Amino acid sequence: MRVLGIDPGTVSCGYGIVDYEKSRFRSVAFGLLECSPHVPLPQRLVTLFGSLENVIQEYRPQDAAIEEAFAGKSIQSSMRISEVRGMVIVCAGKAGLSLAQYPPATIKKAVVGVGSAHKSQVQHMVQILLGLPDLPRPEDASDALAVAICHCHRSHLGAL
């Protein structure tokens, strides 16, 4: 199974592609989809949409997963992230991908074993689970890999 994980952001979205077979993970690709913070949000969404479409076309995942929205520091920030999440949902749907959504605590528990884990703990466990020589950077890409790993775990458990 090949899974695309997305960590949504208004200027950059982390993405991670993970292959999962016989309880083993393999990192295929990860990085950031970026746009200028100096352009209005609608144009940023168009840019991010196009970049995400390119990733989907290049790596051909079977499933996609995204972190669910959470109450951030401000309502304005939470609303903007929700708009980015909507763009990801439409892009995945246009590509014919099923899209799972997971709360941050579920992702952390699937990767670290504790739903309240710190970002550095998640990053370290992603490195271990994927057998990467270095910590996956930037953090948004590491978080996206964690989302993909979580989906692999949850899909596997659901298939039992």
Domain range for residue 117? 2-159
Task: Judge whether 53 counts as a catalytic residue.
Answer: no
Portion of the chain with pLDDT greater than 90, in percent: 83
* Average pLDDT, integer, range 132-137: 95
Q: How confident is the model at residue 159 (pLDDT cuts 50, 70, 90)?
A: very low
Task: Judge whether 67 counts as a catalytic residue.
Answer: yes
Task: Record the pTM.
Answer: 0.94
Q: What is the DSSP string of 110-157?
A: HHTS-TT--HHHHHHHHHHHHT-SS--SSHHHHHHHHHHHHHHHHHHH
Give the count of domains, the chain.
Answer: 1
Average pLDDT of the residues of the chain: 92
Task: Read off the pLDDT of residues 61-115 as tens digits, 9 standing for 90 and up.
Answer: 999 999 987 666 678 888 888 999 999 999 999 999 999 999 999 999 999 999 9
- Say which of 63, 67, 68, 139 is annotated catalytic: 67
Task: Judge whether 134 counts as a catalytic residue.
Answer: no
Look up the CATH number of the domain holding residue 48.
3.30.420.10
